[in-house]
Amino acid sequence: MDSYKLLITGGIPLVGETYVSGGKNTAVAVIPAVLLSDEICVLENLPDIEDVRVLVDILGSLGAKVEYDGKARRMTIDPRPVAGYQVPYQQSQRMRASYYLLGALLGRCGQAEVGYPGGCAIGNRPFDRHIKAFRTLGAEVEEKGAVIYAKGKMVGAGVFFDAITVGGTINAMLAAAKAEGNTTIYNAAKEPHIVDLANFLNSMGASVKGAGTDTIRIRGVKHLHGSVYSVIPDQIETGTLMIAAAATRGDVVIRGCIPTHMEALTAKLLEMGVQVSEMDDAIRVRTVRTHRAVNIKTQEYPGFPTDLQQPMSAMLTRANGDSVVIETIFENRLKHLIEMQRMGARVRILDQTAIIEGVPELYGAPVTATDLRAGAALVVAGLMAKGVTEIYEPAFIARGYEHIEDKLQALGAKIHREDL
């Protein structure tokens, strides 16, 4: 149970300018990738979030020299002293992306023992496809109690994913970057952070081609050198801010984002009647009319992201008409809508489909965040609702959004923490 709750007094349009932090899902891939380097790396524009701090602890325990300045969003990592290959369960279960330590350590020293990952309870979340990729590259993999043990010299091969996996694609890239020979990843994920990881690996001297398409070709190299690298802005934070601006019928300019990463969301907002204008590295979102209901089906990039489905479906509870939301990636990502029924939302849920009947008003109520993006969705709900919304278990939100209360307050929102 968290020691605080979030209180939001809703009904105030968000107005003004804000900025996007560095990407969570790119940071959690790029930080472990430093283990592949033979020299010091400097990472910039890292989001100041809990998942990044957990990785600082894990790399430190492995023996790396890590200097992290959360305010400056900068981390200097010297991986040369790393001698260990074990990440115990107590550390691995603090976040989902700890499984990238498997690919990174296999790539570094041909051996890894990593406890099972934790992360949001949004479904079953197996990682059989990661294990299959490691085996294809030459590892023997054993699941022993709470840990996964993998060992073997990485040798380039054809890795075919029978279904797309973001994490599996990243792990295969990490394991293959220094493998002997060439690796081709077929049916690879195409998310922006896959491209960012490829760019980081290439900045260290790797040869990764085709990231952002469904075929990634990697020529294994013997050594990777140091690099100074700035991670890309967070696609999901950008989208969450866009949705919050639209949902409160506000007018917000979001700076420091990459508008081309947002096409799927932008198209849906335009369909709803929201005004979206794109600049080189900024997006302005304005609402001047009632929102039309729209249908959403989540898909891998460049489709509509599952991570934005939750804030988006929260907004649709007040659209004019019925919306159908189909969550195809994770089986348990509609729980925020059940919470929102207490706020007056009219929703029917059948398996992974939600039928949302738009209502003119939502009303503040106590609700509980069940995962990171559910928490973000409840923040959107609270910002829209009349009266006070209390969000319990808000620490989920801090895991993935940097200083969200400060950013929203600066746009006029009434949101603050209260100790329990």
Residues lying near ligand EPU in the complex (CB under 6 A) are found at: 25, 28, 96-97, 120, 123-130, 165-168, 189, 305-307, 329-330, 372-373, 400
Structure tokens at 243: 């949705």
At residue 308's C-alpha, the angle toward residues 277 and 56, to 5°, is 110
Q: Cα(402)–Cα(405) distance, rounded to whole angstroms?
A: 9
Q: ω before 32 within 30° of 0 (cis)?
A: no
Name the residue nearer to ligand EPU (CB basis): 337 or 362. 337
Q: Please, what is the minimum distance in Å from the beta carbon of residue 191 to ligand EPU?
A: 6
Name the residue nearer to ligand EPU (CB basis): 10 or 167. 167
Long-range CB pairs of 125-128 (<8 Å, 24+ gap) are 125/96, 125/330, 127/99, 127/167, 127/168
Name the residue nearer to ligand EPU (CB basis): 39 or 214. 214
257 flagged as catalytic: no
**Cβ–Cβ under 8 Å, residues 347 and 325:** no
Neighbours of 367 (CB within 10 A): 26
Q: Cα(112)–Cα(68) distance, rounded to whole angstroms?
A: 24
Name the residue nearer to ligand EPU (CB basis): 90 or 124. 124
Spell out where 295-395 has E strands: 296-297, 322-326, 346-350, 353-357, 366-368, 388-392
Report which of 328, 381, 367, 324 is spatially closest to residue 347, judged by C-alpha positions: 324
**Cβ–Cβ under 8 Å, residues 236 and 25:** yes
Q: Please, what is the minimum distance in Å from the beta carbon of residue 353 to ligand EPU?
A: 16
Structure tokens at 194: 């896959």
Q: Please, what is the minimum distance in Å from the beta carbon of residue 83 to ligand EPU?
A: 27
Name the residue nearer to ligand EPU (CB basis): 12 or 35. 35
Q: Cα(5)–Cα(145) distance, rounded to whole angstroms?
A: 35
Structure tokens at 96: 């989902």
Q: Please, what is the minimum distance in Å from the beta carbon of residue 296 to ligand EPU?
A: 15
Name the residue nearer to ligand EPU (CB basis): 107 or 400. 400
At residue 323's C-alpha, the angle toward residues 320 and 325, to 5°, is 150
Catalytic position from the list 41, 109, 120, 257: 120
The residue number whose beta carbon is nearest to ligand EPU equals 167
Q: Please, what is the minimum distance in Å from the beta carbon of residue 196 to ligand EPU?
A: 11
Q: Cα(119)–Cα(53) distance, rounded to whole angstroms?
A: 14
Q: Please, what is the minimum distance in Å from the beta carbon of residue 213 to ligand EPU?
A: 16
* Residues assigned a catalytic role: 120
